[in-house]
Amino acid sequence: MAKATPTKPNVKPNKGPKVKSDKRTAPAVQNRQAGYNYSFGDRYVAGIMLTGPEVKSVRAGKVQLVDAYCAFHGTGIHHGLYVLGMQISPYTEGSYNNLPDKRPRKLLLNKTELKKLQTALQDKGTTVVPTRLFFNDRNLAKLDIAVAKGKKTHDKRDTIKARDTDRAMRRGED
């Protein structure tokens, strides 16, 4: 007589928590020119108000931050910090929804951060420069901004010299 083997219940093995894989994440757009022309002070992460076709253009990487800067504009409800000079190319599939590519776009910050930026902008030679545009983990467009002071020509040369010596040291160690 054959011995009966106990059957195992149909239990699926635990594969751990499900992780969303978002294939839509766009690469961050950086303003490398700003790091060369300015020395940075305080940094902030601000939300940015974009329309639908602009978001799609940003995801496609059609953004230029080279000549962009931030300034306070508007009165009443519309008063706030705006990014000016940032170019987002029109979305090719967008119809009448496309807006001008270099329009001012409002930045979303707390009141305390806005007050700090407003006092920092009153100093001579300071400006607020966008350094990076990216999407966070919740797929919201964010803009890294920094309070910046312009570099003189000799400061730029010193930065280049320091970078070259660091590069040479790393090559020598490898």
| In-domain check, residue 12 | no
Cα–Cα distances in angstroms (integers) from residue 18 to residues 14, 15, 22, 23, 148, in the given order: 11, 8, 12, 15, 42
Mean pLDDT of 68-86: 85
| In-domain check, residue 10 | no
| In-domain check, residue 44 | yes
12-44 pLDDT tens trace: 555 555 555 455 556 688 888 888 888 889 999
For Cα atoms 131, 84, 142, give the angle at the middle one, nearest 5 degrees.
45
Number of domains in the chain: 1
43-76 pLDDT tens trace: 999 999 988 888 888 888 888 888 899 999 877 7
| In-domain check, residue 50 | yes
Residue type, 63: V
Within the chain, how many helices (H) and strands (E) appear? 4, 9
| In-domain check, residue 4 | no
* CA 111 – CA 167 distance, rounded (Å): 42
**CATH number (domain holding residue 62):** 2.40.280.10
| In-domain check, residue 21 | no
Mean pLDDT of 151-163: 84
Range of the domain at 122: 29-157
Whole-prediction pTM: 0.73
| In-domain check, residue 86 | yes
For residues 58, 121, 73 and 101, what is the CA-based torsion angle, rounded to 10 degrees? -20
Q: What is the pLDDT of residue 62?
A: 86
| In-domain check, residue 73 | yes
